[in-house]
């Protein structure tokens, strides 16, 4: 059953097993607010068990593009399309959030983004590969983020 992410009343529902659950919930709410304001899209998530297809799609892109395998277990995921952009998010127990922005019509505008919840360490599988920039968020505190672009079809 999909959970609508409320960015007015931030909840840790579904993320309780994370050592940074409150920060991860803030990060999830931050993303929900962005999509509501920019695209008028209601951001929902499903438990990892119910979103295996989305998680496998994201894992395939990570593996084939950069030989990355995320060690932390996924807690929740979502996939949707706004305009011509296919979007997927996976939220991990460690506090990591990975998103894929995949333009359907333009292979030059496709990217994987990584966001780290406040209080978490950079995962070993990402440490030597990416530099993370800091961003302040009222909902999530300090978010550290990085990304890479890709052009292949998935």
Provide the pLDDT for residue 21: 97
Give the residue from 149, 25, 63, 153 showing the smallest Cα distance to 33. Answer: 25
Give CA–CA dist 134/90, Å, rounded: 20
**Which residues, other chains included, contact 143 with Cβ-Cβ below 8 Å and sequence gap of 6+?**
27, 30, 115, 116, 117, 118, 134, 135, 136, 137
Query: Per residue in 111-149, pLDDT tens?
Result: 999 999 999 999 999 999 999 999 999 889 899 999 999
Query: Per residue in 13-44, pLDDT tens?
Result: 999 999 999 999 999 999 999 999 999 999 99
Report the DSSP beta bridge partners of residue 104. none
Do you know the residue count of the chain?
154
């Amino acid at each position: 059953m999909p959970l609508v992410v409320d960015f007015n009343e931030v909840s840790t529902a579904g993320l309780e097993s994370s050592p940074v659950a409150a920060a991860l919930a803030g990060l999830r709410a931050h993303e929900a607010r962005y999509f509501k304001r920019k695209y008028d899209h209601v951001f929902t998530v499903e438990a990892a068990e119910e979103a295996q297809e989305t998680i496998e799609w994201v894992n395939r892109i990570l593996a084939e593009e950069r030989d990355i395998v995320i060690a932390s277990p996924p807690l929740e995921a979502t996939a949707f399309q706004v305009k011509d952009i296919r979007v997927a998010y996976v939220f991990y127990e460690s506090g990591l959030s990975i998103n894929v922005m995949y333009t359907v019509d333009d292979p030059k505008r496709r990217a994987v983004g990584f966001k780290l919840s406040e209080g978490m360490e950079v995962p070993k599988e990402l440490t030597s590969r990416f530099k993370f920039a800091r961003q302040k968020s009222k909902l999530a505190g300090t978010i550290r983020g990085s990304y890479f672009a890709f052009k292949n079809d998935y």
